[in-house]
């Protein structure tokens, strides 16, 4: 009898152990899609990719998407230094090129959206900014992204093309940081993406200017060579480029590639 009771206890423990393992690692579906997915994405994709991630999880039971949002150049450096990630979405081709040239991409990157700069100003545009030349007024405080990151490179391109000599009071490492300077009242204006102003809702206004058409950024996305969940990563890439994913991005203000 004792042997029977001992066997039952061992069996129950074994079943409980099995359940714990299942909870820790969601099973993949019949198509191999499941488990955890890590996506490195440009800061300007924060709101739209967060929504796409939730939708993707809802469409694929057992998938858990984790994002790392930051400046594209910083993310590319992290990937090349061995940071674990399955997918990389950059705000410009240059940071993506550093990843592909290092041999860390699995396949060719594909452009999935484009983005354009606007002048972010406080709500109501109290300084009546209408174009780039207004940013050079005496005493005007302007934030730019550093030229090493895509929003900064685009800003330098439009300023040079327009012949506007602008000295910013701060150079930020990603577009969200530059926009925050306006939201916090620390600067009078910043050059950021149209999508970031839209995501800020009523906190800031965006002033369109024609020179920005000459520096529209292409956003490439790619599967990474050392991805540990390639079936799910490929499904995510397809989802971003699907009509459903593109609708989210268009609503956020991105342009079709």
> Residues annotated in the binding site for molybdate, as ranges?
44, 72, 175, 193
Q: Binding-site residues, please? A: 44, 72, 175, 193
In a 13 Å sphere around the CA of 181, the CA atoms on its Cβ side amount to 24
| Residue 221: strand pairing partners | 89, 110
Residue 119 near residue 155 (C-beta atoms within 8 A): no
Residue 182 near residue 168 (C-beta atoms within 8 A): no
Cβ atoms < 10 Å from Cβ of 210: 10
The tokens describing 128, both together, are 């009546």
Distance CA 230, CA 33 (A): 9
Residue 206 near residue 199 (C-beta atoms within 8 A): no
């Amino acid at each position: 009898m004792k042997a029977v009771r001992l066997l039952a206890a061992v069996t129950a423990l074994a079943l409980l152990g099995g359940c714990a393992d299942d909870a820790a690692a969601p099973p993949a579906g019949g198509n191999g899609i499941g488990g955890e997915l890590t996506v490195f994405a440009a800061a300007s994709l924060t709101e739209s990719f967060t929504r796409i991630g939730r939708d993707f999880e809802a469409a694929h039971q057992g998938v858990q998407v984790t994002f790392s949002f930051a400046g594209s150049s910083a993310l590319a450096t992290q990937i090349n230094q061995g940071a674990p990630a399955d997918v990389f979405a950059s705000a410009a081709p240059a940071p993506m090129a550093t990843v592909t040239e290092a041999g860390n991409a699995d396949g060719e990157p594909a452009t999935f959206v484009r983005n354009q700069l606007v002048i972010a100003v406080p709500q109501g545009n109290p300084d009546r900014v209408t174009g780039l030349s207004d940013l050079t007024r005496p005493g005007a405080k302007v934030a730019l992204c550093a030229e090493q990151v895509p929003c900064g490179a685009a800003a330098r391109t439009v300023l040079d093309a327009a012949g506007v000599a602008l000295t910013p009071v701060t150079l930020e490492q990603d577009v969200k940081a530059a926009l925050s300077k306006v939201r916090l009242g620390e600067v009078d204006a910043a050059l950021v993406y149209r999508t970031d102003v839209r995501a800020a809702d009523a906190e800031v206004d965006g002033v369109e200017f024609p020179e920005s058409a000459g520096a529209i950024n292409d956003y490439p996305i790619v599967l990474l060579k050392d991805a540990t969940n390639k079936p799910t990563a490929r499904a995510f890439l397809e989802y971003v480029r699907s009509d459903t994913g593109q609708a989210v991005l268009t609503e956020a203000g991105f342009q079709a590639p």
